[in-house]
Amino acid sequence: MNAPPAANKLAGKTALVTGSTQGIGLAIARSLASANMRIAVHGLATRAAGEAVAESLKRDGAMEARFFEADLRDPASIEVMMREVDAWGAIDVLVNNAGIQKTASLRELERDTWDAIIGVNLSAAFHTMRIALPGMAQRGFGRVVNVASVHGLVASVRKAPYVAAKHGLIGLSRVAALEYATAGSKASGGVTVNCICPGWTETELILPQIAERATALGVDRDAAIASLLSEKQPTQRTSDPSEIGNLALWLCNPAAHNVTGACIPVDGGWTAQ
């Protein structure tokens, strides 16, 4: 592997990206790997599949990569993972990306569905942040990038737990940004906490909604996507996960030391309406 450019201040730093075996999480992990970082991979995958992702990230430029397991619905499991990652390499960058969703009306929703969505999409981020942030502050550099959603800024029907979790994640991130605002310095890069709020993005998470719309309209996949976009996203274009990955990488740059508490929509103008 070629030596990283001298200007690459992220080389050798350790990033934990939850939900990074596919979709947006994997795209973020690939972007961070391109900066010669050490990547802690996590996701709903077999160990063999997770290790295969880790190997692919090494080919993408990661200094090291390793798969870690945790059930994000379980705080004790999260704590074990955080200790294991920290023993491997002190966490400099934390990306809370893992998320689950199920569309249903309030009347139809079951308690277990609510608990699972809130647990994975919101509570897990609280647990990883409360463990990782003190160490970042002590070292004078840290980045937390929480992948929220356009639904952290606006609501949609049939998504009550998801919308509640993403609104909560933005609130949690803003509190953390304020509490750690004075950690570190301009020279060290400081500690920042930000949210990325994607709109319609080509991931596995939206496949059920596409299938539901296609069935309802009696159309193919492309027509179903066009119908969904026409309701919300003015550009009429989906985002690619790699675009979210590139934004996350920029937020992790030490030069972004004064970007904190921000919620950046990547939504084709959805929230501008």
Q: Which residue is catalytic, options 162, 180, 200, 270?
A: 162
- CA dist 145 and 199 (Å) reads 16
- Determine whether 162 is an active site residue: yes
- Cβ-proximal residues to 107 (8 Å cutoff; 6+ apart), any chain: none
- CA dist 119 and 125 (Å) reads 9
Coil, strand or helix: which one is 101?
A: coil
DSSP code string of 148-212: --GGGTS--TTBHHHHHHHHHHHHHHHHHHHHTTTSS-TTTTEEEEEEEEE-SBSSGGGHHHHHH
Q: Are strands 64-68 and 91-96 parallel, antiparallel or unpaired?
A: unpaired
Coil, strand or helix: which one is 219?
A: coil
**Rounded CA Rg of the chain:** 18
Cα angle 82, 74, 51; round to 5 = 55
- What tokens were used for 99? 């998320």
Is 163 in contact with 151 (CB distance < 8 Å)?
Answer: yes
Catalytic residues: 162
